[in-house]
Amino acid sequence: MANLSYVNIFCKDIIKLSNFYIKTFNFKEIKEIRSPIFRGVDTGKSAIGFNALAVYNLLEIKKFSKTSGAKFLLNFDARSMAEVDLLTKKAIKNGGKVIKNPYRTYYHWYQSVVIDPEKNIFRINKVLPAKDRSQAPK
């Protein structure tokens, strides 16, 4: 079976956007693969790649560069509800904007929904243990 190694984000400013995720989640840059049009960030289990828009020509996918709207949703797992709150605040401090403040979902997660400086949407999640599920909204 194949494993997910990277999720790549096409962005206007690879340095600014990769630094947003590094600062918000304390991720580390993978400096060995850095190039003028790419930054890689180690998330611990997989990686996020930040591609400059020049990659559209490199990969011969320019005709797809005019799409609009949310095309993916990154999810980051926190260790606790308090960490969801903390990471949400860090995202705001680093230039993100909250779409939905931390809340308990009907599927028993505690999560926030945030948009990064280049308008990519992501969630910060904590799957609630069974003992906390009775407090989730109906």
Q: Is it the case that residue 62 has pLDDT exceeding 90?
A: no
pLDDT, one tens digit per residue, over 97-136 is 999 999 999 999 999 999 999 999 999 999 998 766 555 4
Q: Which residues contact 48 (CB under 8 A, 6 or more apart)?
A: 6, 7, 8, 9, 18, 21, 27, 40, 41, 74
pLDDT band at 67 (very low <50, low <70, confident <90, very high): low
CA 19 to chain centre: 12
Task: Write down the pLDDT at residue 60.
Answer: 80
Q: What is the DSSP letter of 118?
A: T
| Mean pLDDT for the stretch of residues 43-66 | 86
